[in-house]
Amino acid sequence: MTANSSSLMCGRHRLDLSYPRVMGILNVTPDSFSDGGRHVALDDALRHAERMLSEGAAIIDVGGESTRPGAASISSQEELERVASVVEVLVRELDALVSVDTSSPEVMRESAALGAGMINDVRALEREGALAAAVGSGLPVCLMHRQGEPRDMQQAPRYDVPIEEAVAEFLAERVAACEAAGLRRDRLLLDPGFGFGKTVEHNLRLLNRLECLADLELPLLVGMSRKSMIGKVLDRPVEERLPGGLALTALSVERGARILRVHDVAPSVDAVNMTWAVLEEGC
């Protein structure tokens, strides 16, 4: 699909992208930066997902590996043990459209077999075997820009060209690699990767110039919920970053984002819908 297309096939679900949608974050990790350990138990994960869906989330994004700055990597087996049962129960009990936040080929394949509808890869399918696994899954994939790995990505990140150019060039190269491997363009989404190998100044400039990615003609997924850029600009701890995050959500919608990845679903849905109502009135 292109940025102007109205829907995306996600397994047995058809995701309507004629207007912006909210993706609820479900981390089943012990060490994620803002909610680590809260939803590790299967019943807790199910209840939280159920709540996010009732609040208006169109997608539940399940992650089993923390990608916070400084996070250590884990084995594919450990990640799969965290994720598989959650994906299975969300699909079976809630008929949810589940996205799996993973770079592991093994997790991609198993999640697809369990009924997941989307792959969300912070490493843009660069890990060995990931591209082939994504092609074989038949699912849409979100490709994210990042510089470095979580363990070192925030150690003095720098770019030789303006950040928006660096992001656009990287994503264009990954799209070309996907198409060459047989992953059709109508199965791709793009994430500029706020907070992944970027300073606060990089993040602010990138959001201000987000329309520069429109030339790639693919739907944009944006995630800035509770991130440190909000804390550094506003001097707020993680638990006080919602107002700043809602402002960023509204700006992202205004600049073309089609999926907003968030922790706080209900207020984010309101922010998205209110912003969209204003934009549609001007059409």
Residues annotated catalytic, as ranges: 227, 261
Nearest Cα residue to 110 out of 168, 64, 48: 64
- Report the Cα–Cα distance between both ends of the chain, in Å, rounded: 22
Distance CA(84)–CA(149), nearest Å, equals 24
Cβ of 156: how many Cβ atoms within 10 Å?
Answer: 6
Helix axes 130-137, 105-113, angle to 10 degrees: 10
Distance CA(257)–CA(162), nearest Å, equals 20
Partnered with residue 15 across adjacent β-strands are 8
Largest Cα separation within the chain, whole Å, is 50
